[in-house]
């Protein structure tokens, strides 16, 4: 497997990332726990789309499709950005992936209480899943574990950006092995 060359994190890019992160955490504080206005509405769209997509393959697994759907899109983006070596976009999609876990934890913790609104008035996914697994009584404890994993994942992504930024501090901007640089180099070789 070829080594991934990450694009350099310049001071301007890092400042933009930090501002975006600050806005993200400000929204976290301003909104109800586990639901960020706007972002989690988009996540809900992916969640709901996951049910019928997985349902095409198995009606028994359709319940899991919602959670799989809302996690799939950030994962696909993360893989794409990783393959392109886009450092901050990769980190942002990893943060988005783990932010989804906060929303999932909120939904899990409601499995017994059934207080959250359910789209279309259907079944509560995590009530169904936990009942099926015979662990409904542990809904809030399991949600706590998922919440911990979410915050740990987001923290690690931010720390990774800090480490990448520190490692990049003396690296020339075009030394990241970006595809644009590679195309220009190959064109130059072709002309020579």
Mean pLDDT, contiguous 10-residue spans, the chain (192 residues): 75 94 89 80 88 92 92 96 96 96 95 86 88 97 98 97 91 58 42 44
Quick one: pLDDT at residue 121? 67
Question: Would 129 be classed as within a structural domain?
Answer: yes
Quick one: pLDDT at residue 88? 96
Quick one: pLDDT at residue 97? 97
- Do residues 105 and 126 lie in contact, with contact meaning Cβ atoms separated by under 8 Å? no
Question: Would 182 be classed as within a structural domain?
Answer: no
Q: What whole-number distance in Å separates Cα of residue 108 and Cα of residue 119?
A: 15
Quick one: pLDDT at residue 188? 42
Quick one: pLDDT at residue 93? 97
Sequence length of the chain is: 192
Among 164, 173, 167, 158, residue whose Cα is nearest residue 20: 158
Number of domains in the chain: 1
Among 106, 108, 115, 107, residue whose Cα is nearest residue 136: 108
Q: What whole-number distance in Å separates Cα of residue 81 and Cα of residue 87?
A: 7
Quick one: pLDDT at residue 3? 52
Question: Would 4 be classed as within a structural domain?
Answer: no
Which residues form the domain of 120? 11-169
């Amino acid at each position: 497997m070829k080594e991934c060359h990450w694009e350099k994190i310049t001071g301007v890019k890092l400042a933009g990332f930090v501002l975006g992160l600050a806005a993200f955490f400000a929204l976290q504080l301003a909104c109800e726990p586990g639901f960020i206005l706007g972002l989690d509405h988009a996540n809900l769209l992916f969640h709901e789309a996951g049910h019928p997509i997985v349902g095409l393959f198995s009606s028994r697994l359709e319940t899991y499709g919602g959670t799989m759907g809302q996690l799939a899109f950030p994962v696909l983006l993360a893989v794409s950005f990783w393959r392109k070596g886009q450092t901050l976009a990769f980190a942002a999609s990893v943060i988005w992936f783990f932010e989804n876990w906060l929303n999932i934890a909120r939904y899990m913790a409601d499995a017994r209480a059934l207080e959250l609104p359910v789209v279309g008035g259907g079944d509560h996914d995590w009530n169904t899943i936990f009942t099926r697994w015979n662990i409904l009584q542990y809904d809030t404890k399991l949600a706590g574990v998922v919440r911990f994993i979410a915050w740990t994942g987001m923290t690690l992504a931010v720390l990774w950006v800090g480490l990448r930024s520190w490692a990049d501090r003396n690296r020339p901007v075009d030394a990241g092995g970006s595809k644009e640089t590679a195309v220009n180099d190959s064109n130059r070789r072709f002309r020579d």
